[in-house]
Amino acid sequence: MQIVLLGYMGSGKTTIGKILADKLNVKCLDLDQYIEGAEGKDISSLFKEKGEIYFRKKEAESLREVLSTKDDFVLSIGGGTPCYANNMSAIFDMTENGIYLKVGLDELVKRLSKEKTKRPLIASIPEVELHEFIGKHLFERSFYYNQASHVVNCDDKSIQEIVIEIESLLS
């Protein structure tokens, strides 16, 4: 079984992916880490040195590489991945388990304001503009996110509750 977790940055894809993969006894993969391993650079460096277009091309290639394997896994993808290079179609064509981890705007702002320096996309956004920036971004991306085969509302739920809900969707 191949499961793809998608959602905005800060939605818990990596954390939930690790726990879910462990419970299902399958590999846990993170698309950004996969790209970093292949490129020998972190995502921030790739953006700075080669630009977003290069990164998005690598991201699309890497997504298709991972999805084309016959392995069972839980794959966490970047927040922007579904929005570029027809990646949602690739997810639909190659797996039946695309799961959108939906987190409300206020909760995302709360989570992301604590880790701004680790997030290149928002690192330079002033704190007072963060809510508006994330809201606009979330609105633009929700069209893609909501195409997932399953939507899991994550607000006011523990990680364990979210994992249990995902497991029930898969059975």
Q: Is 111 annotated as a binding residue?
A: no
- Is 158 annotated among the ligand-binding residues? no
> Are the beta carbons of 166 and 16 closer than 8 angstroms?
yes
Cα of first residue to Cα of last residue in the chain, in angstroms, is 11
Specify burial of residue 118 (Cβ count, 10 A radius: 0-12, 13-18, 19+).
Answer: exposed
**Other beta carbons within 10 Å of 67:** 18
- Residues with Cβ within 8 Å of 164's Cβ and at least 6 positions away in sequence, in order, are none
Known binding residue 119? Answer is yes
Q: Left (φ > 0), alpha (ψ -120 to 50) or beta: where does 40 sit?
A: left
Is 32 marked as a binding-site residue?
yes
Which residues participate in the annotated binding site for ATP?
10-15, 119
Which residues participate in the annotated binding site?
10-15, 32, 56, 79, 119, 141
Which residues participate in the annotated binding site for Mg(2+)?
14
Which residues participate in the annotated binding site for substrate?
32, 56, 79, 141
